[in-house]
Amino acid sequence: MKGLSWRTAGESHGPGLVGILEGMPAGLALDLERVDRELARRQEGYGRGGRMKIETDRIQLLSGTRAGLTIGSPISFLVPNKDAVIERLPVPTNPRPGHADLAGCLKLTRRDPRAVLERASARETTARVALGSIARQLLEAFDVEIFAYLLELGQVRVADGAFERAGEQRVALRAASEFQSLDPACEEHLRAEVDRAREARDSLGGVFEVRVLGLPPGLGSYASGPERLTARLGGALFSIPAMKGVEFGLGFEAARLPGSRVHDPIVLRDTPGRYGRFTRRSNRAGGLEGGMTTGEELLCRVAMKPIPSLKKGVPTVDFETGETVQATYQRSDVTSVPAATVVAEAVLALELASAFLEKFGGDALEHVQDAHRAWTERVRAI
């Protein structure tokens, strides 16, 4: 069964960003205000730069709905840029380390970083957040929740177990945080860390966690490498600019432990659950085995490098003279790790919704619901 496909277009300082989403079944009530709220979340966070003060991202739907319901045709939209000055911006005279500038210039055989950086910019993730917000509305119709939050920023680490302690208050706690954190006691330390980096004209990276609750087992496939959901989800997360590490469950820690402390014992439930009789006594695998979901909570952590646009600059080479210079500074954030948590939710929503439709897909939402219901009844007998 076919899943979702999507595409974005647009430059950072062009007229706007375009998104196209194909494969959504007809009959899903689409909440565009919800999309706008996700776009706003992406723009928030302590340590963001001047661009966020200029833009107020809102989706302009172009196709794919009627009377607020999807109609099965491609969904397309525009997110206009207020800072649409691409034709007036200068061409940098040097490539910035840590960016796509030099590799892109060599790829194009053109000494024009502007031609590269306008599309390589993380501004493109605006369109992906909108696409992901649409996809997650399909998942939420089947009680699937995607939730990301900060673990580390620079040298500051949020207290362990913050998600479990937050419980049902997790959404409110995260909304009250300037860092997408679940630990209010850390807010002051996180702000101080950003202030130190800003004073030093530097930038900060960090680590965040994404949890997905309510997934059925068996999404993805063991049949071939590209179909394995572990590869697909990892690829989706690595497609976000500046992401340098992804791990599921124990992740790298699993390599340091014996198998008896890594693999999750399978046990019978006292009473059959929504997706059958079986569960795991632990979730060290992070909800993935053999390239498929296990029915347990999906758990992944992502490491983001510091933004490479530094006010104090990084040594590079001038194209014309060949002399060592400090890289041209382009307006940037001190940190955008909190924003990256929102983008990560979006790209996972796109990939998981696609996998969901591959298993339960149909032309209309009721077809998907019927297929899911029939499978759920059968899996309880296994």
Q: Is residue 147 within 8 Å of 211, Cβ to Cβ?
A: yes
Task: Check residue 323 and give its pLDDT.
Answer: 96
pLDDT at 381: 85
Check residue 208 and give its pLDDT. 98
Q: What is the side-by-side order of every strand in the sheet holding 206-213?
A: 156-157, 145-153, 206-213, 298-304, 243-248
Please answer whether residues 149 and 24 qualify as being in contact, where contact means their C-beta atoms are separated by less than 8 angstroms.
no
Residue 267 has a CB neighbour count (10 Å cut-off) of 11
Q: Is the pTM of this model over 0.75?
A: yes
Domains assigned to the chain: 5-379 (3.60.150.10)
Give the per-residue pLDDT at 258: 97
pLDDT of residue 236: 98
pLDDT in tens, 167-182: 999 999 999 999 999 9
**What is the structure's pLDDT at 50?**
67
The residue ranges of the chain whose pLDDT is under 50 are none
pLDDT tens-place string over residues 64-123: 999 999 999 999 999 999 888 999 999 999 999 999 999 999 999 999 999 999 999 999
Residue 52: per-residue pLDDT = 65
Q: What is the pLDDT of residue 318?
A: 95
Question: In whole angstroms, what is the distance from residue 99 CA to residue 107 CA?
Answer: 14
d(CA 10, CA 76): 13
In the prediction, which pLDDT does 2 show? 83
